[in-house]
Structure 1
Amino acid sequence: MPCSLLLLLFILPYYSFFSLLIGVSSATLSITTDREALISFKSHLNNDTLNNFLSSWNHNSSPCNWTGVLCDRSGQRVTDLDLSGMGLSGHLSPYIGNLSSLRSLQLQNNRLTGLIPNQIGNLLSLRVLNMSSNMLEGKLPSNISHLDELRVLDLSSNKILSRIPEDFSSLKSLEVLKLGKNSLYGSIPASLGNISSLKNISFGTNFLTGWIPSDLGRLHDLIELDLILNNLNGTVPPVIYNLSSLVNFALASNSLWGDIPHDVGHKLPKLIVFNICFNYFTGGIPGSLNNLTNIQVIRMASNLLEGTVPPGLGNLPFLRMYNIGYNKIVSSGVRGLDFISSLTNSTHLNFLAIDGNMLEGVIPETIGNLSKDLSTLYMGQNRFNGSIPSSVGRLSGLKLLNISYNSISGEIPQELGQLDELQELSLAGNEISGDIPNSLGNLLKLNQIDLSRNRLVGGIPTSFGNLQNLLYMDLSSNQLNGRIPVEILNLPTLSNVLNLSMNFLSGPIPQVGRLSSVASIDFSNNQLFGGIPSSFSNCLSLEKLLLARNQLSGPIPKDLGDVRGLETLDLSSNQLSGTIPSELQNLHVLKLLNLSHNELEGAIPSGGVFQNLSAVHLEGNRNLCLNFQCGPRGQGRRNVTLYIIIAIVVTLILCLTIGLLLYVKNKKVKVEAAAASEQLKPHAPMVSYEELRQATEEFSQENLIGVGSFGSVYKGHLIQGTTVAIKVLDTLRTGSLKSFFAECDATRNSRHRNLVKLITSCSSVDFKNNDFLALVYEYLCNGSLEDWIKGRRKYASGNGLNLMERVNIAIDVASALDYLHNDSEIPVVHCDLKPSNILLDEVMTAKVGDFGLARLLIQGSTNQVSISSTHVLRGSIGYIPPEYGWGEKPSAAGDVYSFGIVLLELLSGKSPTDECFTGGLSIRRWMQSTLKDKTMQVLDPQLLSLIFHDVPSEGPNEQLYCVDAIVGIAISCTADNPDERIGIRDAVRKLKTARDSLLKLSNESPTSTKDTKSYMHDSGK
């Protein structure tokens, strides 16, 4: 036997022994390492969260016996760590990377902060990594891609600020990838399409941009695709609709567009959730969705969908949510609303929203047969007529009922009082008549009721005192009468709005009881009399108190000075007497104090809000003391003298001065107005009151075009056949005479194709011998720009203004301002530029009108300044430049600011006073934040739909670049500092450059484009 063999036989028994010994030592070392790693993990946590859950974690026992720890069968290695939902706080220890045999790490639903340590990448055996619902931040560790065994990666609901790493595609075993509710940015990596095992992708509620990669269409086992609440744009790749395994398909709240395939229900037969709301999808509602008998959620609201609701909704027995609100869905024929009846087969239906469409007809009685689980029913802003079906009272699970802004008539059904679970009831903006049913007082869980803008009569039910959970009540703009029930002034939860304005309520205001939390009280425009209760001082959270246009008398309570949060106090047009309480000076946040047209007397306080002339209105109180002059003539003389001084300097015309002097001497408004009107005689003869009365068919409501700050505008036909717009000034309204003068001064020497032409005027008396003032303008048949922006006017095709038309309108308006500022004989500042003051003629040429607040300018040695010396804030809220609020005089730069806001509104479709602009967010900041990569999110949906319908496939991006350029012009016009704004002439030049770019896209010539306005007579309301 060879020596080597003998040696092997000798060593072999000992080899087994040493091998076992070495193995035991290695295992002991490994469990020791795991123990130290876990102890380090514990040391990085805050002590206040350890006592209850991790008290067993100590050096004296095996980790395998610790809370949340699992070991392998031999007890030699830690394989699972599950500390989910234990409320742990603190940081993650980097030593967690020493748990080299760990297969599952679950730390979700805690309060962990700080970074995810890179050492996570050392856990090469890890299959499940779940740290969701914490407060982790920083970037995603790139070395997570080293975890070849990883099946589940869930880091959702944290504060991670990062791109999605491209090399995540190396996680070939990954099935679940959840990164939603973080701050991820950048695009979705196309390489994710290489992870063929992926079943769940959840990236919702982030800041991801770009298109949805078509590569995701290779994920044939994908069950969930959740991309909601991002900044994605483009169309959905067609291959996505071929992922037949999809159960949850959620793309809501992005900027996606394109038609939804009509056969989507056939291609995605397993769908349970279909959520595409808040995008720009077009086409019709796919009827194939109604073949998905297991579907539970269909959400398509706030898109650009058209057509009718397809048949077959009765095939969806498990449907829980059906939301198609705010599209362009119509109903046709007498059976157009049958789809409501078919939903009675969906016995689990909980949420139904069909509001904001063009549905019309009578709501069927079968609506009462809908699911008893139905808790939310939105039907507002359609064209429903008829009455509210009494069967609605059978929907016993209803918590929200909104049928507002339709054409509903009839009475409120008593049966609504049977909806015991109802929390919100909104029937506003209809034609509902009759009394308010007492049964509504049975809705004890109600927290919001809005019955405003109807034709309700009778008294306010005292049963409303039972609504002890009410937060908001609006009964305004009805025909309610009787007294204000004391019961509703004792609702302790009423913390938002109590609005009873625009009714016929009478009697004294009861003592205010327990409304300590209410923010706004509006009792204006009623017939209330008696004194103002001092108990309003109990409303410690009150921000607005509006009691104007009643018959209230007596003194203003001093106690109102205790309501320190009051921002608006309007007591105008009453019969209040006595002095102005000095305590009102204590209201340091007061922004508007209107005490005009009362019988107040004595000295005016000088502190607090009274230091801001633009915030205080005291006109019409003849006995107030000012400049040490008291009595009925002191205030009047001062105002008349001011008018005379302004008029002399502004016009430098002798006849106007004579007219004003005659006004001082005779105190006749008509003499002064006639002098101003006389200036128009060289251009056109004045017309008589009788001629204007006949031209407007006795100023009938049918001919009423609109109501402005100082009067009403009527359409009329003069004797010679000319169609005109007649602005009748309200001579009783403060400032109307000044408006008349301003309009005459500003327009008599102004001639420009983009200014509304003033034809003539009328200064006379009416048949009651009252002063009558009117201005006669050319009539512009296509209404105001505001009507087009708000969608009140459209072409016969149903379309609104396209991008080229909006640019042309902007150029027209800017050209008018350029003329007024730079080329007019005497430069003029408009002071009130806004969409309602921009009118459109038969070929959609824009013209600027309404010069009631205009100011003439003189050229100083340096900058333009206003002749006027007044510091009263001029313009309309939202369009007023910030410097006017600081006391600066009207200027050309102020008009440029207003023009910039109009330009932003023209593109976005949103008013600068939209309710979404709160908390320091303005339309300027909102639009500025979207430049370059988020433009589609803020564009007017009417405009966006035209961009993607009317241009070639490569056109939208090119048009969006032009939109970005125009937004940039608007931003330059609206700088807070007037010195930083561009001039209006520069704005015209830049807008024309943008228009030329659009022309190149459409291969039109500059001369022909202006006549793209030759949609001519294709307009309608």
Structure 2
Amino acid sequence: MAFLGLALAVLLLSMASAAAPCAEKEKSSLLQFLADLSMDGGLAMSWRNGTVDCCSWEGITCNRHGAVTEVSLPQRGLKGHISSDLSGLTALQRLNLSHNLFSGGLPLKRLVSSTAMIVVDVSYNHLGGGLGELPSSDTIHGWPLQVLNISSNMFTGEFPSSSWKSMKNLVALNASNNSFSGQVPSSFCLGSPSIAVLDLQHNQFNGNIPSVLGNCSMLRVLMVGHNSLSGTIPDELFNATSLERLSFRGTGLQGTLDGAVGKLTDLVALDLGENNFTGKIPESIGQLKRLEELYLDYNMLSGELPSNLSNCTSLRNMNLMYNNFSGLLSKVNFATLQNLEILDIAINNLSGVIPETIYSCTNLIALRVAGNNFHGELSPRIVNLKSLTFLSIYGNSFTNITKAFQILKSSNTIRVLFMGKNFMCEAMPQDKTIDGFDNLQVLAIDQSSLTGKMPTWLSKLKNLEVLFLNDNRLKGQIPSWINLLSRLLYLDLSNNNLTGKIQTALLDMTMLKSINSAYPSYFVLPIFFVESHQYLQANAFPKVLDLSNNNFTGRIPQDIGQLALLNSLNLSFNRFYGQIPQALCNLTNLEVLDLSSNLLTGTIPTALNNLHFLSMFNISNNDLEGSVPTEGQLSTFPESSFDGNPKLCGSMLIHHCNAIEAPPNSNVMARDLSEKIIFSIAFAVSFVLGVLYDQLVLSTFHCCIHL
């Protein structure tokens, strides 16, 4: 054996030494390719200034005859046009120019005319224009091309239809993330009977799904999502029984889900989300024993969930959110779904209690049952879900919030916890023994009319970044321990009965003062405010401080200017008095500033014009005076932003400023007590009138949590 190994090594060494250098013609083609680049990513150093043998150049592979067989230059920062001179490399089999900055057209006709080309990958560039028809092959076997990846470019026009008659060997085509239009080509399987992967996602295809795709007997992956299709899924498509992955997400398809889907027994992933399907999930779904991913979200499906879902024992991810499913969830025996990791059934009409069988799914990492009609108490068995990181029971009719937190405190893996819109009118848990939640980043206990004070156990949540306590009936002051939540970047305490002044501790919140250098971590499921706003990590949340609709009083402190990272500050509908602090001009990241319906006096600081990102500004229903700036950012807001301040004047207001009026002194003396009393009465009236306005002019960052 040792002798044979030595002999083989000698043979390989002799073959390597016998390998011929590249031909001059090959070298010339490569140098012309280099010459067409405006940015070469350092290739010139290797190619022009290196060895004369191009077979030794970076990214170049040759056969033993010195012919170039592979050009592999991904992620090199190359910029320019792809030279058609590459077609001079007659033995070239693989071309990989992906993840660069190439622009212009793709000389595909010249490239595939090679009798050797097997793989072309030019994905993730800036190539554009039409693809063009490909030449016919002179041989009965057609062109040898097997893999063509032109994804993530800017190609336009209709996809060439007759080209594939010569692509008899094509196995994989990825044309996703372009701007191809017209109908989905129906000739793929006719010209390329071996095609196994067809990805046309994120284009502008229209029309119906060609029924002839059902003749693609070798097709394993069909992805046509995010186009503008119409009609239904043709019955013939279910004849493509080799399919393993099928996606028509976001295409506008309609109709019912055909029971013939049960014929696709090799299916691993089925994504029909974001369409207009109606009716029930067919019972035949239970025949898909290999199914791991099922996405039927954002449709109009209804009825009870079929019990046969229990037969899909390979399921890992099931997303049925935003439909009209009803009945009992217990129809499905989740004890058989031991591989289930993500279950999302939010925003349906399911009722009853959460079935105990769910707690047998010990691999579950995300459970979202928000927006249904579930009731009862949280089961102690939920602690069996040792890997659970995301839990949302938001918007149901659960009871006994204290018991729920006593149970969940043992779940140290939870990072996202939505409990809001449950436990109506109960008392906020004050039990000091509640601890745990070591990894909790997002907590929502909102819209529940909970009574009591902000509980001290919240101060133990050292990793908390987002806290929603809005729309309750909490009273008392903001506790001094609030600054112990050093990672907090989003705090919503609006619509409560909180009192007192703005605490100094609130102005010492680390994450609102300086940029966090911690590496961001991602959630298992996106967090929704509204459908158009989704967040996959806590750091992506806007930096928000919302104290609106409470009974806070005193002056707005100058130290509020320390919260330099704030994107939204809402202090409306309180009893703050005194002047608008000049320090607000330091909050240069502000997009929302709402100081409406308070007792503020004095003039509008002109320095607020420095807040160039403001998209929503409201100081209505105060007692401000003087002129509204006629230039700069503040002048761009409508009259409604200044309403209810009869002493204000400006070109956009009913009360115009007289040229002879002297500007008021910016250092206005404090009003005497009697004036405050009179204005307080006026404020009470304006408060009621302002509520409607406040509801109409909601901040972008103050939306009801859905999930």
TM-score range, shorter chain: 0.7 to 0.9
Aligned partner of 2:111 in structure 1 is 120
| 2:451 matches 1:427 | no
Aligned partner of 1:592 in structure 2 is 617
* Deviation readout 1:159-212 (Å, 9 max, x if unpaired): 322321012221122121111122222211222231322221111111111111
Aligned partner of 1:241 in structure 2 is 238
* 1:513 paired residue among 493, 505, 508: 508
* 2:587 paired residue among 560, 563, 576: 563
How far residue 565 of structure 1 moved from its aligned partner, in angstroms, is 5.0
Aligned partner of 2:73 in structure 1 is 83
Aligned partner of 1:154 in structure 2 is 149
| Secondary structure in structure 2 of the residue aligned to 1:302 | coil
| 2:375 matches 1:385 | yes
| 2:317 matches 1:321 | yes
Aligned partner of 2:366 in structure 1 is 376
Report the structure number with the largest CA radius of gyration. 1
Higher helix share: 1
Give the distance between the partners of 1:736 and 1:504, measured in 2 at CA.
Answer: 19
Aligned partner of 1:250 in structure 2 is 247
Aligned partner of 1:614 in structure 2 is 640
Give the distance between the partners of 2:132 and 2:411, measured in 1 at CA.
Answer: 53
How far residue 614 of structure 1 moved from its aligned partner, in angstroms, is 3.2
Give the distance between the partners of 1:625 and 1:68, measured in 2 at CA.
Answer: 72
| 2:442 matches 1:448 | yes
| Secondary structure in structure 2 of the residue aligned to 1:460 | coil
How far residue 314 of structure 1 moved from its aligned partner, in angstroms, is 3.3
Give the distance between the partners of 2:247 and 2:626, measured in 1 at CA.
Answer: 62
* 1:294 paired residue among 262, 277, 290: 290
Aligned partner of 1:969 in structure 2 is none
Aligned partner of 2:27 in structure 1 is 35
| Secondary structure in structure 2 of the residue aligned to 1:331 | strand
| Secondary structure in structure 2 of the residue aligned to 1:274 | strand
| Secondary structure in structure 1 of the residue aligned to 2:162 | helix
Contact 1:436/1:456 (CA < 8 Å) preserved in 2?
A: no
Go from structure 1 to structure 2 and tell me whether the alpha carbon gap of 1:131 and 1:875 turns closer, same or farther (over 3 Å shift). Answer: closer
Task: Count matched residues.
Answer: 609
| Secondary structure in structure 1 of the residue aligned to 2:409 | helix
* Deviation readout 1:348-380 (Å, 9 max, x if unpaired): 3222111111101112344333233x3322211
Give the distance between the partners of 1:875 and 1:563, measured in 2 at CA.
Answer: 25
Give the distance between the partners of 2:62 and 2:575, measured in 1 at CA.
Answer: 83
| 2:471 matches 1:477 | yes
Aligned partner of 2:386 in structure 1 is 396
How far residue 616 of structure 1 moved from its aligned partner, in angstroms, is 0.8
Higher relative contact order at CA 8 Å, sep ≥6: structure 1 or structure 2? 2
How far residue 111 of structure 1 moved from its aligned partner, in angstroms, is 4.3
Map 1:754-769 → 2, pairs under 5 A: none
How far residue 47 of structure 1 moved from its aligned partner, in angstroms, is 5.7
Give the distance between the partners of 1:354 and 1:874, measured in 2 at CA.
Answer: 33
Consecutive unaligned residues of structure 1, counting only runs of 5 or more, are 1-26, 631-729, 738-851, 853-872, 879-912, 917-1021
| Secondary structure in structure 1 of the residue aligned to 2:454 | coil
Contact 2:112/2:143 (CA < 8 Å) preserved in 1?
A: no
Contact 2:443/2:467 (CA < 8 Å) preserved in 1?
A: yes
Go from structure 1 to structure 2 and tell me whether the alpha carbon gap of 1:135 and 1:54 turns closer, same or farther (over 3 Å shift). Answer: farther
| Secondary structure in structure 2 of the residue aligned to 1:298 | strand
Give the distance between the partners of 2:210 and 2:118, measured in 1 at CA.
Answer: 27
Give the distance between the partners of 2:292 and 2:95, measured in 1 at CA.
Answer: 33
Give the distance between the partners of 2:28 and 2:294, measured in 1 at CA.
Answer: 52
Go from structure 1 to structure 2 and tell me whether the alpha carbon gap of 1:41 and 1:491 turns closer, same or farther (over 3 Å shift). Answer: farther
Give the distance between the partners of 1:546 and 1:57, measured in 2 at CA.
Answer: 62
Q: Which amino acid aligns with 1:614?
A: S
Go from structure 1 to structure 2 and tell me whether the alpha carbon gap of 1:142 and 1:380 turns closer, same or farther (over 3 Å shift). Answer: same
Residue range with higher mean Cα deviation, 478-487 or 458-467: 458-467
Give the distance between the partners of 1:875 and 1:169, measured in 2 at CA.
Answer: 58
Aligned partner of 2:651 in structure 1 is none
Map 1:592-741 → 2, pairs under 5 A: 592-594=617-619, 596=621, 600=623, 603-607=625-629, 609=634, 613-619=639-645, 732-733=685-686
Give the distance between the partners of 1:874 and 1:243, measured in 2 at CA.
Answer: 56
Q: Which amino acid aligns with 1:115?
A: G
Q: Which amino acid aligns with 1:138?
A: G
Give the distance between the partners of 2:602 and 2:697, measured in 1 at CA.
Answer: 30
Go from structure 1 to structure 2 and tell me whether the alpha carbon gap of 1:120 and 1:468 turns closer, same or farther (over 3 Å shift). Answer: farther
Aligned partner of 2:122 in structure 1 is 131
Go from structure 1 to structure 2 and tell me whether the alpha carbon gap of 1:338 and 1:410 turns closer, same or farther (over 3 Å shift). Answer: farther
Contact 1:140/1:164 (CA < 8 Å) preserved in 2?
A: yes
Aligned partner of 1:364 in structure 2 is 355
Aligned partner of 1:417 in structure 2 is 409
Contact 2:318/2:344 (CA < 8 Å) preserved in 1?
A: yes
Contact 2:123/2:152 (CA < 8 Å) preserved in 1?
A: yes
Give the distance between the partners of 1:317 and 1:277, measured in 2 at CA.
Answer: 21
Contact 2:304/2:326 (CA < 8 Å) preserved in 1?
A: yes
How far residue 60 of structure 1 moved from its aligned partner, in angstroms, is 4.2
Q: TM-score, normalised by structure 1?
A: 0.54
* Deviation readout 1:518-544 (Å, 9 max, x if unpaired): 643221222333332222112224354
Give the distance between the partners of 1:47 and 1:620, measured in 2 at CA.
Answer: 63
How far residue 61 of structure 1 moved from its aligned partner, in angstroms, is 4.2
Contact 1:562/1:586 (CA < 8 Å) preserved in 2?
A: no
| 2:158 matches 1:163 | yes
Contact 1:521/1:546 (CA < 8 Å) preserved in 2?
A: yes
Go from structure 1 to structure 2 and tell me whether the alpha carbon gap of 1:587 and 1:152 turns closer, same or farther (over 3 Å shift). Answer: closer
How far residue 448 of structure 1 moved from its aligned partner, in angstroms, is 2.8
Give the distance between the partners of 1:35 and 1:192, measured in 2 at CA.
Answer: 36
| 2:62 matches 1:71 | yes
| Secondary structure in structure 1 of the residue aligned to 2:387 | coil
* 2:558 paired residue among 527, 530, 534: 534
Go from structure 1 to structure 2 and tell me whether the alpha carbon gap of 1:309 and 1:72 turns closer, same or farther (over 3 Å shift). Answer: same
Residue range with higher mean Cα deviation, 85-94 or 519-528: 85-94
Contact 1:423/1:447 (CA < 8 Å) preserved in 2?
A: yes
Consecutive unaligned residues of structure 2, counting only runs of 5 or more, are 1-18, 515-541, 649-654, 664-682
| 2:373 matches 1:348 | no
| Secondary structure in structure 2 of the residue aligned to 1:529 | strand
Aligned partner of 1:504 in structure 2 is 497
| 2:218 matches 1:221 | yes
How far residue 251 of structure 1 moved from its aligned partner, in angstroms, is 1.0
Go from structure 1 to structure 2 and tell me whether the alpha carbon gap of 1:71 and 1:519 turns closer, same or farther (over 3 Å shift). Answer: closer
| Secondary structure in structure 2 of the residue aligned to 1:337 | helix
Q: Which amino acid aligns with 2:508?
A: G
Give the distance between the partners of 1:288 and 1:54, measured in 2 at CA.
Answer: 62
| Secondary structure in structure 2 of the residue aligned to 1:79 | strand
Give the distance between the partners of 2:415 and 2:246, measured in 1 at CA.
Answer: 31
| Secondary structure in structure 2 of the residue aligned to 1:255 | coil
Give the distance between the partners of 1:86 and 1:629, measured in 2 at CA.
Answer: 65
How far residue 110 of structure 1 moved from its aligned partner, in angstroms, is 4.1
Aligned partner of 2:395 in structure 1 is 405
Q: Which amino acid aligns with 2:448?
A: N
Contact 1:198/1:219 (CA < 8 Å) preserved in 2?
A: yes
